[in-house]
Structure 1
Amino acid sequence: MSCLALSLQPSDGSDILLQTREWFPPARALIALSYFRQTRLAFAASKHQQQKQNQSTSASSSATDSDDVTAAEFVGDDPLAAASGQVIVGVESKYRVVYRLVNSIYVLGVTVADHDNSINVFECIHIVNQAVSVIVTACRGVDVTREKLARKYAEVYMALDIVLRGVSNIRLAAMLGSMHGDGIAKMVHSALDTENKIRGAEHWTSVEHHSAEHQSAIDAFSNVRFELPPETIAAGDELAASLAPVVQELEQQKEEAEPENKDPFAASEAINKEEELVGGFKKTKDPSSSDLTLALAGIEVTTLPPAEATQSTTISVEGFEGQYGGIEFSNEQATLEETFETLNDAWGGGLDPSEFMGPKKIPKKEGLGGLELLHTSDPKVAEAKDGSVAGNIENLVKRPEMKGPEMHISEEIRAEFRESMLARVGLMGVVYLRTMPPKTSGDDKEAEFSFRVEGTAAVKRFVMQNSRVSSLGDGLFHVRTAPSEEPIPVLKYSLLPRLTPLPLRVRMVKRHSGTLLSMMIQYVSNPELLEPLKDVTFILKLPVDPTLLKVSPKAILNRTDKELKWQIPEIPLKGTPGRLRARMPIDSENGEEEPEIICYVKFFAQGSTSLSGVSLRPATEGKTDFYEVDHRYETGIYMCN
């Protein structure tokens, strides 16, 4: 900065005022002012001695004065003779003093003495000229005296403090106009309004509604969510309704699974087993002692159709020859699952024997309306020794003990394929913070720590919750928030489309020949994933309700929504592309119009790393301010048409 200090020094007497910058010590400014005073007096004494021309009688005094004068370097032709000028003073630490004489008061500006043009001397001169305007205005004229400055000392002090830090001519004029009127408050707080008025800018009250719209747009972007498809919500409701028996069945299937590796796309062999089809439900030919008869006791069973109506239907269509015919009641070897496989979701779900009886009968206990059975996914809870309702409820709501604040990343990947080409892709991630649960005593301690976000090369935009998070720059963020029961979203980000990783690539091909429509879906996993995708669901939207349908591998048909659903247990990282095929005859009443077919993909994954590569690290190495738990990512609208 060019000017380091401003001072008012009378021609006779002590200094009136000194203003310095924060980093410039006042002691050094006083040294420069003292040198300037000595230089000024020595120069005046030397001129007086030259006028008398009596060098012999004042040799000792001239020697002393010459020593003081040698501590100064004159700048200009006739320093200190005119009303303004510059002088470089000092012996070891040299300072440049820019001065102006107003009546009997010197206005001094102190800066460092440089010889390499690193200091803008003209800016320092400009600041001294502004200080002259301040004292002239305070004294109401050029008759500047110590007494007049004392009356307006506070206004002069604040005005010179503002001038020293830099002020425009517009604001200086406003300050000078308010020095004898509105006072110090108007002088200090008139910066923005004055600049806007002089430049003709709009006042804040006229642009306030624009700021409100801008803030509402920011809030809308911060709270944006992707809409869930209706079928996802319906599937969740059905899963919640059948949670207890399904989870128990899955636990038994995991225990009985063979350790050897099998083709993940092969059909399950469980339907061909005659014994222990579903947890001890054994098929028998004796209807009097059949468990199925006991299970279906009291249920009205409709009359079966005649044998001719239940025979397999033989169809002869070009490219679609074969036998298609669902239930063959005359086949005594048909298993229970094959018998009821057409009673799918369109009819409210088939008959699951595990709903009526299982391998072990659970004794009915008095409790809160069966609430004790909600947590039957844990076999230890189901076989508790005491069987108390309170113990089951505690296990139901019990969470792993937290050691400190936990953070994880939740990402949502969206993509749209048109046949095999990627049309659009997007990924949005949210960084969640889970604090220690709040205490009931009222002495909750706020969670406060810093963390670093790495792997942001592909990030397009970051949005943070300003009320809880502040950015420290260079990927560092500081969190301060009160305890909360629910996870708190602190950061949101989106990736550039060209740098967004695709966990799964999908291709759909259809062939319409005559009245036969053939569809094939090919999918392959990204080999760069750390873990293979599991429990992937493919949903194919059919154009019409099919009368005859052939699929490979087996799928679930929902006639209400005209959907065909495949559930793939696992997709290998480096394997051959999987294929899902379906064929059905359709009427060609619409002429040449091609039927619209859409395939939706849903999957969910969880692991130690995020899909985008974004990671969370402590701000200081070796310090654990928070605990990083498993990150997760799922699909939004992931489709192929």
Structure 2
Amino acid sequence: MSCLALALQPANGPDILLQTREWFPPSRALMALSAFRETRLAFAKNQHQPAASSNFTSDPTSDSLGDDPLAASSGQVIVGVESRYRVVYRLVNSIYVLAVTVIEDSNNNVFECIHIVNQAVSVVVTACRGVDVTPEKLGKKYAEIYMALDIVLRGVSSIRLAAMLASMHGDGIAKMVHSAVQTESKIRGADSWASLEHQAVDHEAGVESFSHATFELPAETLQAGDEVAAATLVFFQQGEEKEVTKVEESEVEKDPFAASDRINKPEEMLMEGFKKDKESGVSDVSKALAGLEVTSLPPAAATESTHIGVEGFEGNYGGIEFSNDGSTLPEDFEGINDAWGGGLDASEFVGPKKVPKDRGLGGLEFLETSEPPAAAVAKAGGEEKIEDILVKKTEMKGPEMYIVEEISAEFRESLLARVGLMGMVYLKTMPPKSPSDDKETEFSFKVEGTDGIKRFAVQSSRVSSLGSGLFHVRTAPSQEPIPIIKYSVLPRMTPLPIRIRLVKRLSGTLLSIMIQYVSNSNLPVPLNNVTIVLKLPVDPTLLKVSPKAVLNRSERELKWHIDEIPLKGNPGRLRARMPLEIGEDDDGSDLEIFGYVKFSAQGTRSLSGLSLRPASEGKTDFYETDHRYASGVYICN
């Protein structure tokens, strides 16, 4: 059996509200509430053995839960002597919300009662607009609370409970009670079939009625329409007569280029649109032409023909004469007046013999030799290209070795937080002359400058250690460089090519950022092509930078490119300023701002000081080329 009754009982005073099911007598519910009050007062006075006249259990401690029953704000207790009931309670300010049910250990009535008590607490708190629940506030909303607890007692879902609580101070009891059928459907965004069926029936009936409907216009309306139509017809007929007259007049003048008849009329009729001024006696036409400039005719000499003569090394070649009748250009040059492909053809001056292609650029390859062409071609092998003859390619003299290093550093403002340097030694063998060429490269070398090395690893399949910094290499030829040694440097011995510092300041809503950088004066050559990138916290609306930079809005990055950083000089400064939309209490400490540096350099010395030397003095087993170093994760925040 489920919950039988719900009640509101103040800590001091009579009961406020009692809501029971139909089959549960209110008298028994009142007996259970009275027994709960006596039990509560007995525990409040520490009277664990109540008087014989009371009607609660003789040992309530054994039938209740918790170490100190009724001392907490919620719990349950069994009351009654002959008719025993379980009361689940919860204290809200000074009001107990009670649920009464029977004692049955075979089912889970207590859990359902706890859920109903929690829903009733939600109703009471919502009605009183807070947890300050008093009998006075409950009296103001007594009707709403009564109906809401009646619905809760019979079972209500969380969706309908939320709708009830929302309408408690708004639409009132009517919305609370009568929205039961459609509440869950509306919240889930669905319509019930009853409403849809009613709308469909109405729609079909409306379509059926309008399809068979007929309308009759009054006689007065029809008569007024006939009068309007007659007046409109007369107007259009008059317009058609005028158009016919105009057409007949236009058919009189059949020739569109014939002179007008008005030219035969006297001058007074031609000037009928202009009137003379009575005071000055000057006509309007003279006044209109007074401010216009009249262009004078060219002299008679300009109408004579113009002759352009053409003289060459061997005399006069004739010329072209321009006059009013035309020019003599078509007469002097045949075919130049042809619209499709006419004019001079350069192929007439070139013989049928083609230029031989075996001599490249017209024999320029033979300019640097005094031998005859045939001998030069025979000496070159006959098939060698001109690019191979003119450009002497730089060929490898022997095996080459170089060092590639990558340095990573992290600065927090001006302090160095961590640093690391990883290096790799590469071997570039002589390329094989043929696919079957398997001649191995074998030599020995010495590694110097290993004082700051932290770890040192060699590729044992190609390199073997001889001790005292000597190593022996033996490997097959390869087209690509081969990594043979990998090492890392101690952090305290790692040189920094560039130091960087990031400072931010927030003044109100204006964020100012400055990056300072300076180069290491011990570098062999200055750093070139350095890129410093600043990661902005938000996409800026207004941005002011110094010096000029490139803004990438999609990545929210501000990029500066520095051509060269001098070894000895003042630190460089990069500034950016932008407004932010932050709260009044926000100090900007959670803004994610950091910058990173990208650079690379190449030179005869490595950054870590590691160097490669031949195993024996005066013997060149390999050639040391330019070493390289570049930035890894080089950031400041």
**TM-score bracket for the superposition, by shorter chain length:** 0.3 to 0.5
Higher relative contact order (CA 8 A, sep 6+): 1
TM-score (norm. length: structure 2)? 0.38
TM-score (norm. length: structure 1)? 0.38
